[in-house]
Each structure stands twice: as structure tokens, then as C-alpha cells.
Amino acid sequence: MTGLGCVLIAVDGSEESMNALKWALDNLKLRNNSSKPEQGHFLILHVQSPPNIITGLNPGSIPFGGPDNLEVPAFAKAIEAHQRRITEAIMSHALQICSEKKVNVKTQVVVGDPKEVICEMIDNLHVDLLVMGCRPFGPIKRMFLGSVSNYCTNHAECPVVIVKDSS
């Protein structure tokens, strides 16, 4: 086996995604050619939802003739700062998990819809394998929220490994 070139691991801060990262580090072999610049690597990807999806930054129309599309700059900045702190904590935790292994790791943070961004990254970077966790949604919640792992399984242009909780 020659090993994998690029393994994308999607992390969202959940225990399931961190377990998927641990699984990938413990079970996958990367390409290791010191004579070629094409050494394999793990790419840890965190996708932030755009602030307007999370909170609806538009406070709504202001009664008595105020502007309809008013944004509250201080509120928007507070949300962005909060998301930045969450992202830093997620990536720090992921890198801490990786630090125990001697592997080539890269990180990337992108803002957008997680399922679309993950599939776009796979296409753009020619990813060999996607590894992700699976949250235990019930059928009704999955019907309304959708499932990122289900979407990626059906749309990603590479093999996908879904690491389920073993408990």
C-alpha cells in the first residue's frame, strides 16, 4: 500500500468529530516519499456557519418607518468574535490530539454551509479520503436539519469514512 496523499478530516468541535480525527490518526497511512514533494498530509477542516445563518443578524424592520435592512454592527462584531473564539478552541483541541502523533497536519477554516464547503474542498484539493464523525440525530431531527455526513456520503467525489460512536 502506497498510502494516502490528502485525508480531509472535518471537525466541528463535537466529540464525534474529534473521535473521527483520533481514528484517522490511528488507522490511516499517509504517503511518505521524502524524494518527492508529494508527501501525504491530514487536512483538518472546520467550517464556520455564516453569522446570519446562526443568529439572523438582521434585527427585523424597525417600526414607524425605520430602514428595513439595518444591521447592528456591534452585535455582528460580537458574533464574529464569539465564532472566532470557538473556532480557535476547536482547532487548538484538534492540534493537541495531533501533537501526540508524528504526522504531517495542515488546518483550514472556511465560512459557509458545511456540507457544500466540504464537497468543494474535496474537488478543489483532490482529496483521497474524507473522514468525519456522525452525530446521533433521531429520524425527525435528521429530516428537518439534514445530515452533513449523509450529504457528503452521497455527493463527495472521494471515498468517505463515517466514524460512529462505539458506545
Residue 141: which pLDDT band, with cuts at 50, 70 and 90?
low
Give pLDDT, residue 121: 96
Q: What is the architecture, at CATH level 2, of domain 6-50+72-164?
A: 3-Layer(aba) Sandwich (3.40)
Q: Identify the residue whose cell numbers are 469514512.
A: 161
Q: Residues 107, 95: contact at Cβ < 8 Å?
A: yes
Tell me: the pLDDT tens digits for 45-69? 999 987 664 445 444 444 555 555 5
Distances (CA, A) of 96 to 7, 11, 14, 104: 18, 13, 15, 13
Domains of the chain, by residue range, sit at: 6-50+72-164
Alpha-carbon distance 23 to 10, whole Å?
A: 12
Alpha-carbon distance 144 to 123, whole Å?
A: 27
Q: Which of 49, 38, 164, 165 is nearest to 112 (CA)?
A: 49
This prediction has a pTM of 0.79
More confident residue, 87 or 67: 87
Beta-ladder partners of 9: 44, 131
